[in-house]
Amino acid sequence: MTRETGDLVLTAFNARDWDNVVARFAPDGLFYLGPCAPCQGHTAIRKLLDAFGAAYDIRIRHWSHIVDGNRLATQAGARITYKRTVEGLPEARGQTIDMPFATFLTLTDDRVSHFRVIFSPVQWRNAIA
Amino acid sequence: MSVATETDFRDAARTACIAVCAGDWARLETVMRPDAVLQITEDAYLSGIATMAPYFEHYLEYYRLTLPRLDVICDGMEAAVEATLRLEYVKDKPGLPASSGQVTEIPIGVFFTFAGTRIVKGRVFYSLDDWMELFADPVAGRTAGEEAP
């Protein structure tokens, strides 16, 4: 179930099916996306996904899991395209970068109670500068 | 030849992280092969403990590193560590603000692959932005933040 949930979240993300992604989370599930402030609950997570989805086209191109009971650690890589200018960042001109990242997921009662994404935005900022 | 158990792999993953933070290379070698390779984000590719030691000692000269939280996820010959790394800036580093006891905590992830009973490959994920929060006041800013800290 843990591996399948991880696959489902990442695949639904690629499909930009935010409803499906959010539905995997517990109502009070926590989502830590890099250096962003943590989001808790479906509404906050959906809002973050909407914001990222509006500015970026993100396709997770590969991933591999380590599964341990209700815990899942994943190494992955995404191709990110900057498609709409974000305030405070350089103008979007379709800049694209391949970004490695790691995720850590915990399932509680078959729902994601904790999902952390670790990546270094420096590489991204250098690419869009 | 001894056969490693899952408990051994968990302990090895934990020991490797603690040994690096402590700069204890002899201890690291008890759980990592001397010819192991390590990738740190996209910044560094290190081959062999003899290469890793001076790389980390450079940081340990300026920062005290501890791991107040460390969870190991283990599956077969692979393990991952989800941890909180506590950084304390203890000595002025050229190009960075003066040390005044700055402290921050950042999330890190480390993935290990084992061969036999020891680690043969590791990969570290962390955010340089999180690290540079140590200096995130308007004066210190992030002037050196685009380089390895």
* B107-134 pLDDT tens trace: 999 999 999 999 999 999 999 888 988 8
DSSP designation for A48:
H
Q: What sign results for the dihedral spanned by CA atoms B67, A98, B73, B12?
A: negative
Domain of A116?
Answer: 2-128
Mean pLDDT (chain A, rounded):
94
In CATH, what number is assigned to the domain containing residue A112?
Answer: 3.10.450.50
pLDDT given at position B148:
54
Domain at B6-135: CATH code: 3.10.450.50
Q: Which residues of B touch A89 (CB under 8 A)?
A: none
Domain residue spans of chain B? 6-135
> How close are the terminal C-alpha atoms of chain A, in Å?
41
Total-model pTM: 0.92
Q: How many domains are contained in chain A? A: 1
Which residue out of A66, A67, A75, A124 would a mutagenesis test of the B interface target, given it has the greatest number of B Cβ atoms within 10 Å? A66
Cβ-defined contact of B125 to A119 (cutoff 8 Å): yes
Nearest chain B Cα to A125, which residue?
A: B146
Size of interface A-B (CB pairs under 8 A): 71
Tell me what pLDDT residue A37 has.
Answer: 82
Distance CA B45, CA B51 (A): 10
Residues of chain A with pLDDT below 70 are none
Token output for A108: 């509680």
